Amino acid sequence: MPKKKDRSFTAKLAHETRTIHVEICKVCGKEKQPIVHVACAYGETGTWRPQRRRVKVCDCNRTEVYG
Ligand SMILES: [Zn+2]
């Protein structure tokens, strides 16, 4: 019964997305928002290379991330 298998797989996926979705910071008690932080970096040849970093932003590091 392939249909039954498909349904349970979708349910599992949905459950995982739901549980990962919100993360609360233990320090400030605010919701952490996952963002992609792009920083400027110059290589040895002087060419500009954007560096992408995945960070989670809450009140603790908000000023640090947004400058
Ligand atoms: Zn925090």
Average pLDDT for 14-37 = 82
Distance between Cα 30 and ligand 1 center (Å):
6
- Higher-pLDDT residue of 11 and 1 is 11
Q: Could you tell me the residue range of the domain that residue 45 belongs to?
A: 2-66
What is the pLDDT at residue 9? 77
Question: Does 18 score more than 80 pLDDT?
Answer: no
Radius of gyration of the chain, Cα coordinates, nearest whole angstrom = 19
Distance between Cα 15 and ligand 1 center (Å):
25
List CB-based neighbours of ion ligand 1 within 5 Å: 25, 27-28, 58, 60
Question: Does 28 score more than 70 pLDDT?
Answer: yes
Distance between Cα 59 and ligand 1 center (Å):
5
- What is the full DSSP assignment across 1-53? -HHHHHHHHHHHHHHHHHHHH-EE-TTT-PEEEEEEEEEEEE-TTS-EEEEEE
- Backbone angles phi and psi of 58, in degrees to 5: -135, -170
Average pLDDT score over the chain: 81
Number of domains comprising the chain: 1
Distance between Cα 48 and ligand 1 center (Å):
32
